[in-house]
Structure 1
């Protein structure tokens, strides 16, 4: 989405994480301690001097997760897109993060190549290759062989088994419907899909895995919020409803959604009728830029504050015999903490 300037909107920038370097897929690595920290973020302009890699490194995350808009490409010139990725990846502080922390990630629209772009983008396969190379994803990872960029990784560290499920909300996404009144950018397209059938079936199989303690699902765009007029799952409500019904049917191990895109940070929570635990979403967006004018934005599902500051997210996980304690922390420049929310999920 475009950077909101005169629009009501706000959603949090939270967690950061990274896809395991030189890892094929679903690889398990076990140690025996307690506590994991996952860092994540989105919306990072490669030309900005306001990168927060030093702050992120100081938090010593176990994983870093890109939530999309990892660069601002906005081009169908793949040579230019490659140059922008190279500039981002060669940043000295980011290189230090790569050296110390496993990296995972997914794209959003600006690194995909076109603002609010979907399946119609002609260069999506060439763009996909550049994104996977930026993340240093090994060539024997199955993501190279299938359409789209969706991935999964099982990581076990400090006694906690996590399944990272990284969704592709671009490659298969149907056309959005513009608001003719101009009050919002988009209104609901009641027949459109986000994930595509192959990715839906893949997601269903991943959620059935009962061997993990928690599922961390990354969606570049927001899943739970409904009111704002920018791009979100609610602009394609058939997909949003299908996702919620999938959770209710499968009853997977605890799920936490991470998202970006919005140049704000916030936490959303929804109680699904047939899911036996509350569903949380942590939005962290605006690694290098955020809204210029503070404003309010309705979100009936918001927990805590709406944060309009450059930010990244930290997810702290602690496991005991019966549950996982989840701590969601919004952080910014110079070790600033904007908000911390804590809840527990049953094992």
Structure 2
């Protein structure tokens, strides 16, 4: 018995020693056909690089450039694997100061498939979730801890999605955090370092949008004085493919197979909720017109518009888009007049999950899938939204996540929405055909 204990203890110590150089990560950022973004955070200044190889040809190994982490960027390194080919799966390693770091779970990434002009687009699946609170007792509000059931990240990892879309409130800045760069980067680091999150980050490609809590204080808007600092932190800690506007918000887009994802910012240009003069901006005209242009250009059968807050819910409660009625009507009207097919909204914020279906005269309905919360305190609908057109049976008021699957032939694509609990057990599922959104 004593020998078994000593063996387990020595294995644990070895594991701790192997991880000691790493603060958080590695994390996979965007995946494209010819390059993949790799991210890691060390505990102190160090030289970092990634070595990777095609799983089918492990003899030939490639390396990223080497980067030196620094205190200013809280020792974060972002490196690009650019010696990759389309449709491949790769194993990778992390080297810190020329020494390989050992992990107790695999490290793998993938490149997207070159299917165009060759085959039907590949099937794929992706995870969706919002509202991640990770407790930190010395700085949290007194009382019952707000975050719980972190094992949900293990369930998402075991679901084996190709990528994950983090749809806002991916960390919670608090009073002690949001006014300074020190506080903001501390909080981002603390959330990113959650042990249960690490295998998911290391093996599933990650894309993100923000909402009020990772942008600034609760219900924060364009008047938040430190938004440039939180923007810098967001870009440092996430690996999105692009940003549509220089130093303005986190708007961007990426494509997976034949589907396109539009990451839309609901904070940077947002008019304060209680302001009574001037225009009422939610997305703002600059961003909204870009979004209409980008969706009009896209020929994707499903155009997923990812927003921190609810878009489809007509109830003028909390921070829903309905509170910005003139802009919302303009946006929906433009989608109709421009005859843009395949639009589906993905949102977070509410700390409970539901699928909203907004009917429109003479054209297809607009769906808004709200998925929340991952670890933050669960909530539920309020009486003011009793007439909201939620699809029957889709309300979930406990920790959950979405697992969305796209499959079918090129002109017969089908979206299957699965909502699962913290243990990965299915709560509800629904299919939507692309042909229904034309």
- The normalised TM-score by structure 1 is 0.82
The separation in 1 between residues aligned to 2:277 and 2:389, in whole angstroms, is: 22
Unaligned runs of 5+ in 1: 1-16, 179-187
The separation in 2 between residues aligned to 1:152 and 1:321, in whole angstroms, is: 21
Instruction: Confirm or deny: 8 A CA contact 1:68 1:105 kept in the other structure.
Output: yes
- 1:313 paired with 2:402, answer yes
Aligned to 1:133: 236
Aligned to 2:369: 282
Aligned to 1:343: 432
- 1:221 paired with 2:303, answer no
SS of alignment partner, residue 152 of structure 1: strand
The separation in 2 between residues aligned to 1:322 and 1:293, in whole angstroms, is: 38
SS of alignment partner, residue 392 of structure 2: strand
Aligned to 1:99: 202
1:20-39 superposed matches below 5 A: 20=31, 22=37, 29-31=113-115, 34-39=122-127
Aligned to 1:88: 191
Aligned to 1:77: 180
- Select the residue among 249, 259, 274 that pairs with 1:148: 249
The separation in 1 between residues aligned to 2:353 and 2:311, in whole angstroms, is: 14
Aligned to 2:59: none
Instruction: Confirm or deny: 8 A CA contact 1:18 1:65 kept in the other structure.
Output: no
The separation in 2 between residues aligned to 1:233 and 1:189, in whole angstroms, is: 18
Q: Which has the higher contact order (CA 8 A, sep 6+)?
A: 1
* Alpha-carbon offset, residue 281 of structure 1: 1.0
Instruction: Confirm or deny: 8 A CA contact 2:261 2:304 kept in the other structure.
Output: yes
Aligned to 2:274: 177
* Alpha-carbon offset, residue 83 of structure 1: 1.0
SS of alignment partner, residue 236 of structure 1: helix
The separation in 1 between residues aligned to 2:334 and 2:239, in whole angstroms, is: 31
The separation in 1 between residues aligned to 2:380 and 2:285, in whole angstroms, is: 40
Deviates more, 1:71-80 or 1:318-327: 318-327
- Residue 29 and residue 203 in structure 1: after superposition, are their counterparts in 2 closer, same or farther (change >3 A)? farther
- Residue 174 and residue 19 in structure 1: after superposition, are their counterparts in 2 closer, same or farther (change >3 A)? farther
- Residue 299 and residue 65 in structure 1: after superposition, are their counterparts in 2 closer, same or farther (change >3 A)? farther
Instruction: Confirm or deny: 8 A CA contact 1:284 1:311 kept in the other structure.
Output: yes
* Alpha-carbon offset, residue 90 of structure 1: 2.0
Instruction: Confirm or deny: 8 A CA contact 1:290 1:308 kept in the other structure.
Output: no
The separation in 1 between residues aligned to 2:191 and 2:243, in whole angstroms, is: 25
Deviations 1:90-128 (CA, angstroms, capped at 9, x unpaired): 223322222211111111001111111110001111101
Aligned to 2:76: none
Aligned to 2:260: 163
The separation in 1 between residues aligned to 2:390 and 2:381, in whole angstroms, is: 17
1:106-125 superposed matches below 5 A: 106-125=209-228
The separation in 1 between residues aligned to 2:381 and 2:271, in whole angstroms, is: 32
Instruction: Confirm or deny: 8 A CA contact 1:152 1:164 kept in the other structure.
Output: yes
**Number of positions where the alignment pairs a residue of Structure 1 with one of Structure 2:** 313
Aligned to 1:50: 149
What's the RMSD between the two structures over aligned residues?
2.7
Aligned to 2:14: none
